[in-house]
Structure 1
Amino acid sequence: MSGQAVPAGVLVAAAVVLGTAPWWSLARLRSSGRAARSGGVRTVRRGRRTVEAPEPTVPPTTDAAFLLDLCGAAVAAGAALPRTLVVVGRHLGGPDGDALVRAGATLELGGAWDLAWAGAPPGAAVVGDALATAWQAGASPGPQLRAASDRLRRERRARVRAAAGALSVQLTLPLGACFLPAFVLLGLVPVVLGLAHGLGW
């Protein structure tokens, strides 16, 4: 009787271990990949020596809503639109800042609007799109900057909510695969073994 009950518990425990082993290996692979990427160092072999060279860094992108807020604050302080772009771009730096400086300088020299924003990165291009109507119609750019900033933040919140909902659906199967074997092992197996012992099997 006990000789039959013990192998059943061992088999269930082995099934739980085998069922959860891929999750452990996947977690180890992901953590090792993050550790390798976080070092930011690549190995370069030169002749007989091995030299550690820093990985090329990608310039961070600027939040487009933050750019719109900066330009809106400068316009609200009374600065002209070309001057606003130049000042904000110089203080911001990076690809987006350079694009703003280039656009402002082109507009100050009387260049066309499309020429001023040609080749602008995504963050600066959002500013150009928000200011296009105001520049061409001669309207105040402040309300359009605020409206564009609010729209971007609403869209971002909507994307975050949608991603959170999708994540909850995607986690259903892994959580079920982890908790169901544990429920069977800790909840059902002792009951079955107790019934088998009571019935004299």
Structure 2
Amino acid sequence: MRWPGRGVGRGLGRGGAAPAVDAAFLLDLCAGALAAGSALPRTLAVVGRHLGGPDGAALVRAGSTLGLGGSWAAAWADAPPAAAAVGAALATGWEAGASPGPQLRAAADRVRRDRRARVRTAAGSLAVRLTLPLGLCFLPAFALLGLVPVVLGLASGLGW
């Protein structure tokens, strides 16, 4: 049963466009459906239909193409980045006949690890870029509130 207005890809992002889908989330969705025993073309079609948006349409198209016996390249042509990540994770398994579940989970872990590395790099860069402005703000305050009274106190004690 589907409820109107509910679902992952139903909301609109900026400018009325569908929001970008997290590639790791999409990989986990497909891995979960495959772990439940669904065939790969059926998994792609069902996840894509419930996801909606351009990524969902690409998954539906890929599942339908593969289900009808189309080539792997034709199934994933012009796929958005998150859907293309699913296709890249499944490519070797489809051609070699390997189980796709571990490949999808490994790809999702890799996406998350890369994202964490980018966030750590950005945080380190931000700390370096904030040092000079914060120093320029706090140094005058420290001088006026900390050093000037001490110097004036010492100067008055010396009889100046």
TM-score, reference length from structure 1: 0.70
Q: Hey, what does 1:21 align to over in structure 2? A: none
| C-alpha distance in 2 between matches for 1:122 and 1:95 | 10
Q: Is 1:196–2:137 an aligned residue pair?
A: no
Counterpart residue type for residue 133 of structure 1: T
| C-alpha distance in 2 between matches for 1:170 and 1:57 | 35
Q: Hey, what does 1:170 align to over in structure 2? A: 129
Q: Hey, what does 2:95 align to over in structure 1? A: 136
Q: Is 1:87–2:50 an aligned residue pair?
A: no
**Residue 111 of structure 2: which of 143, 147, 152 is its match?**
152
In the TM superposition, residue 108 of structure 1 has moved relative to its aligned partner by 1.0
Q: Hey, what does 1:14 align to over in structure 2? A: none
| C-alpha distance in 2 between matches for 1:122 and 1:166 | 26
**Residue 124 of structure 1: which of 83, 87, 91 is its match?**
83
Q: Which runs of 5+ in 1 are unaligned?
A: 1-54
Structure number, greater radius of gyration: 1
CA deviations 1:15-56 (Å, max 9, x no partner) are: xxxxxxxxxxxxxxxxxxxxxxxxxxxxxxxxxxxxxxxx83
Counterpart residue type for residue 168 of structure 1: A
Structure with greater proportional strand content: 1
SS at 2:16 equivalent: coil
SS at 1:56 equivalent: helix
Counterpart residue type for residue 150 of structure 2: V
Q: How many pairs were matched up?
A: 147
Counterpart residue type for residue 139 of structure 2: L
Counterpart residue type for residue 171 of structure 1: L
Counterpart residue type for residue 77 of structure 1: A
TM-score, reference length from structure 2: 0.87
CA deviations 1:115-169 (Å, max 9, x no partner) are: 1111110000000000000111111111111111111111111122222211111
**Residue 61 of structure 1: which of 4, 10, 20 is its match?**
20
Matched-pair identity in %: 77
Q: Which runs of 4+ in 1 moved over 6 A?
A: none
Q: Is 1:100–2:59 an aligned residue pair?
A: yes
Superposition CA RMSD, Å: 1.3
Q: Which runs of 5+ in 2 are unaligned?
A: 1-13
